[in-house]
A and B are shown apart, each in its own frame.
Chain A
């Protein structure tokens, strides 16, 4: 007999109360992003710089073998903080992170708003922070794949190919810098994306905003810096702030002579505003006033 003909059947189980709903939301969002057209291509493309820098670490430990091939590039192939700053501060990496955010994050909240999914979520035992936390975790997962995962591999490769712990003895703070910067960068971009995704009900609009806000801030910096030659205008640009701060984390010299704390404050301010706006925008139900 078909199930529909048997009538309604009860479920013989017990609902768990100790589960973490944010993990369910994050898992679903990751699976959805993974199913998207071109997303895998973008993600693997974004990992190309990490592979190149890993190869660089190998080559730096075998310079004798590659002497002819990399003549004149010895200074670049020295694995010191500046080497890692070149990876973490590279425009390509940040651009690919933006593409990941557009691909996996633009619709995270805007799609739910557009298709009225919030009442369904909040008719479950779910807090606002579970919902936001789940969406945040799904984005952070992909961004940490591009930042923290390569950082761990950089250190492992360096230790394996050098055959000693001298690198860690010289730069004992570097692993913490990798973790700290990866977490900060991923958190910033995740909140930035969620903020823009929550502002409308259209994922295309959110995608455009993610790219436009980022690049326009750099354009404004370029205009003002070109006119006034004042390095402090770097604080207008998200990209420049990220570069200033990544240099500070990696112990490298920042591009502009502006204290990194200011960049930290600007980026932290954006994160704080994002959290406040998200708390206001995400409601279990539309309240008509």
Chain B
């Protein structure tokens, strides 16, 4: 496991930000999902050693989060959510500066800064003052400084925030390229579901400071929620009511498709029984792939 946390608790005064978080994150790209205030950024800060949990412990690539934050920071690249730069510097000096601070020799840091700036698409603008950069360029710059010391794992906090669709696509392509390297792992904190869906293979969903779901993204979709799409002929009101009484979540679309989320206590053949009892005919029935949006909505309990 790259990251393991056991019963981690943290509070900002009276506000409990993380409440007994236990999780394991393996290789590849992992998404950290949750609504605002779920504890995503707090979790990243604890993993980096910025904040000390009041209870619990954990490891990041074998480094103890309580005792070896320097060890963690050597192997982690961190891309914060907010715009971060040092005024008066150009991108090369800025990126090399943070490479040096990570322990790279000055000449090597300069050379590597050029490489990563070209990689993130800032090659032509690398000698421009950072104050003149657009929002998209600043996002790329943050990614460059996170990559400069060649970390083993990247923590990306809202990597596509404030980007236009084109910029967002380009950043996601970069992340996908990075995650294609087997030995560079990525933890992406975001509340943009499609970003996670596009780049990640595993997922942790936080809600109100607790882990609401975690695991392989495909398995989570399959196992936890069964979604079926149906079309029926006849008066469907009684049928829908019967489904709701069995604790199924029901949605109807404009073209008459009924989406039914089955809880684990209800089997699919029960649907036909309920349809017969309500006097409707089932004309269309397929198992639908659960989208991340569905999974997220069900897990955190929002529509």
Residues of A within 8 A of B121 (CB): 4
Known: A7-B177, A9-B115. A123 touches B76 (CB 8 A): yes
Asked if A21 contacts B101 (CB within 8 A), the reply is yes
The listed residue (A8, A25, A119, A125) touching B177 by CB distance below 8 A is A8
- Contact indicator B184/A8 (Cβ below 8 Å): yes
* A–B Cβ pairs within 8 angstroms, 22 of them: A3-B118, A4-B123, A8-B147, A9-B115, A15-B104, A15-B149, A19-B100, A28-B89, A32-B88, A111-B88, A115-B84, A115-B87, A117-B86, A119-B82, A120-B98, A123-B48, A124-B101, A125-B70, A125-B74, A285-B45, A288-B12, A289-B12
Task: Determine which of B74, B78, B183 lies in contact with A15 in the assembled complex, contact meaning CB atoms within 8 Å.
Answer: B74
Are the CB atoms of A285 and B108 closer together than 8 Å?
Answer: no
> With A2-B118, A115-B84 given, is the CB distance from A121 to B178 under 8 Å?
no
Report yes or no: B13 in contact with A120, Cβ–Cβ below 8 A.
Answer: no
User: Are the C-beta atoms of B101 and A121 separated by less than 8 Å?
Assistant: yes
Question: How many angstroms between the C-alpha atoms of A157 and B288 in the bound complex?
Answer: 90
CA distance A24 to B105 in the complex (A): 10
Find B102's partner among A111, A117, A124 (CB 8 Å cutoff): A124
Provide the bound-state CA to CA distance between A122 and B98, in Å.
Answer: 10
Partner of A111, one of B82, B86, B93, B181: B86
Tell yes or no: A10 within 8 A of B by CB: yes
Given contacts A13-B108, A35-B88, 8 further A-B contacts (CB under 8 A): A3-B119, A3-B123, A4-B123, A11-B108, A15-B103, A117-B85, A125-B73, A126-B101
Q: Which residues of A contact B98 (CB under 8 A)?
A: 120, 124
* A2 cross-chain contacts in B, Cβ below 8 A: 118, 123
Chain B residues contacting A24 (CB-CB under 8 Å) are 97, 100-101
Tell me whether A112 is interfacial, beta carbon within 8 Å. yes
Indicate whether B132 reaches chain A with its CB closer than 8 angstroms.
Answer: no
One of B45, B80, B82, B115 near A3 (C-beta < 8 A): B115
Quote the shortest CB–CB distance from A194 to chain B (angstroms): 16
Query: Given the complex of chains A and B, what is the CA–CA distance between A121 and B70 in angstroms?
Result: 12
Q: Which of A7, A17, A125 contacts B180 (CB 8 A)?
A: A7
Q: Which residues of A sit under 8 angstroms from B183, Cβ to Cβ?
A: 10
Look across to chain B and name the residue whose beta carbon is closest to the beta carbon of A17. Answer: B103
Q: Which A residues are in CB contact (< 8 Å) with B112? A: 11
Taking a contact as CB atoms under 8 Å apart, the answer to whether B83 and A115 are in contact is: yes
A287 to B, closest residue via Cβ: B12
Task: With both chains docked as a complex, state the minimum distance between the C-beta of B300 and any C-beta of chain A, in angstroms.
Answer: 22
- In the complex with contacts A3-B118, A4-B123, A120-B104 CB distance below 8 A: no
Q: Which residue of B lies closest to A8 (CB)?
A: B178
Q: Is the CB–CB distance between A4 and B45 below 8 Å?
A: no
B51 beta carbon closer than 8 Å to chain A: yes
Binding site for A on B (CB under 8 A): 12-13, 45, 48, 50-51, 70, 73-74, 76-78, 80, 82-89, 93, 97-98, 100-105, 108, 112, 115, 118-121, 123, 145, 147, 149-150, 177-178, 180-181, 183-184
Let me know if A72 is at the binding interface, CB within 8 A.
no
Closest to B49 in A: A284
* Distance A285 CA – B104 CA, assembled complex (angstroms): 24
* A119 and B12 form a contact (CB under 8 A): no
CB of B154, distance to nearest CB on chain A (Å): 10
Output the residue of A11, A32, A107, A287 with the most chain B CB within 10 A.
A11
Interface pair B84/A120, CB less than 8 Å apart? yes
Instruction: Count chain B CB atoms within 10 A of each CB in A17, A24, A121 and give the residue with the most.
Output: A24
B141 to chain A, nearest CB (A): 10
Chain B residues positioned under 8 Å from A19 (CB to CB)? 100, 103
Cross-chain contact B104 with A16 (CB below 8 angstroms): yes
Q: In the complex the two chains form, what is the Cα distance from A7 to B73 in whole Å?
A: 24
Contact B149 A11 (CB under 8 A): yes
Smallest beta-carbon distance B37→chain A, Å: 11
- Identify which of B50, B76, B123 contacts A284 (C-beta below 8 A): B50
By a CB distance below 8 angstroms, the chain B residues around A126 are 73, 101
Q: A21 vs B70: C-alpha distance in the bound complex, in angstroms? A: 13
User: Are A117 and B89 in contact, CB atoms less than 8 angstroms apart?
Assistant: no
**Contact of A9 with B119 in the complex, beta carbons under 8 Å:** yes
State whether A124 and B73 are in contact (beta carbons under 8 Å apart), knowing that A3-B118, A111-B86, A287-B51 are contacts in the complex: yes
CB distance from A124 to the nearest CB of B (A): 4
Report the Cα distance A117→B50, complex, angstroms.
14
Supposing A11-B112, A35-B88, A289-B13 touch, asked if A119 and B119 sit within 8 A by C-beta, the answer is no
Separation in Å of the A12 CB from the closest CB of chain B?
9
Q: Roughly how many angstroms separate A9 CA and B111 CA in the complex, as a whole number?
A: 13
A116 at the interface (CB under 8 A from B): yes
- Decide yes or no: A119 and B102 within 8 Å by CB, A8-B184, A125-B70 being known contacts: no
Interface string of A247-281 (1 = CB under 8 A from B): 00000000000000000000000000000000000
Please determine whether B73 and A123 come into contact, CB atoms closer than 8 angstroms.
Answer: yes
Who on chain B is nearest to A284 by CB? Answer: B50
**Chain B positions within 8 Å of A9 at CB level:** 115, 119
CB-nearest residue of chain B relative to A285? Answer: B50
Q: How near does chain A come to B48, taking the closest CB pair, in angstroms?
A: 6
By the criterion CB–CB under 8 Å, are B97 and A28 in contact?
yes
CB distance from A82 to the nearest CB of B (A): 42
A141 to B48 CA separation, bound complex (whole angstroms): 32
Does the CB pair A4–B97 fall under 8 Å?
no
With contacts A15-B104, A24-B97 taken as known, whether A112 is within 8 angstroms of B86 at the C-beta atoms is yes
